[in-house]
Copies of this chain bind each other. A is one copy, B any other.
């Protein structure tokens, strides 16, 4: 087992990563979970791992809340239902919310923990690669609004994140690849050594080798933690984590959030952002090759350049009307750019639209 501490003053917490940790949850979470536990999961993950988690946590008072599976259920209504479960169980300020599932479950359970009794403890047990390397660090919780994603939420740091790499064994291929997009992103934005290690280990990772997975998850979380520690409330530097996201969100919006998984769209967005960056052709190729070997798409399908541009203007990361892009000076070296070449943007969008 590897342990990584996310340093955020009195909101610091450990991330535990390894194979078979779910069975040791009772011992590993002893300091973080009290007598009263709200177990939040969904209809897909619950049947796979909920009983094992309860067995490991042992004798406590449980209130189980099983959410419907899918991003379309990530709503304030569903969060209110989770809070309702906690209230009806008679739980109070010393209750702990435990999220068992992917990013949607973690976002909703974390937000419910943030607003129940004005904030109680939360433990995250992410079971998708994307959630493990992305939601584990940053403390973002929340839900969608019918007019936009993640418009409602809170920053609420967990007490502990427990990552059992074995839970990835049941993750569908496409979702695993979508998580790999974020892993590759971490190398691309700040760490060329890590990027090269991923180029070397990509086959082992795609076989879901436990050792390679543990290493990559820990390293990705460490990178994200370092960026977030500099900028917990997302006012500046943290934006480099959005590499590929402005283009990616636009692709998702232009395909009605149905054709591509979020990670797949981000993978495509990273390739667009790399071209927009004016990187040398070899670097662009290396990024594309690694993404392809990770099972990610290299073409977005039919898109209109104008629709893409409109969608980019509506991205949540847009501040006061200006589009912000994360561009690479080189592989492993990203920066936030507000003043970029508009013509180049049009050219990239046209290239990718055709």
Residue ranges of A at the interface with B (Cβ–Cβ < 8 Å) = 76, 80, 83-84, 87-88, 92-94, 114-119, 140-142, 145, 147-148, 150-155, 233, 316, 318-320
Contacts and interface: CB of A to CB of B under 8 A. Distances in A.
A185 to B, nearest CB: 21
Copies in the complex: 2
B92 A319 contact: yes
A142 B83 CA distance: 13
A87 B153 contact: no
Given A80-B76, A93-B319, A319-B93, A118 B147 contact: no
Contacts of A152: 80, 83, 115-117
Contacts of A94: 319-320
B114 A154 contact: yes
Contacts of A140: 118
B84 A153 contact: no
Given A80-B76, A118-B153, A153-B115, A87 B320 contact: no
A249 B151 CA distance: 35
A92 B316 contact: yes
Given A318-B92, A319-B94, A83 B154 contact: no
Contact of A155 (B80, B119, B147): B119
A9 to B, nearest CB: 10
Nearest to A142: B118
Contacts of A116: 151-152
Nearest to A150: B118
A115 B142 CA distance: 8
A118 B155 contact: yes
A118 B154 contact: yes
B118 A115 contact: no
Contact of A147 (B87, B141, B316): B87
A51 B118 CA distance: 33
13 contacts: A83-B151, A87-B145, A87-B148, A88-B147, A92-B316, A114-B154, A115-B115, A115-B142, A115-B154, A117-B152, A118-B150, A118-B153, A119-B154
Instruction: In the A-B complex, list the 6 residue pairs whose CB atoms are closest, starting with the nearest.
Output: A118-B153, A87-B147, A115-B152, A87-B145, A76-B80, A118-B155
Nearest to A235: B93
A81 to B, nearest CB: 11
Contacts of A148: 87
Nearest to A151: B87
Nearest to A115: B152
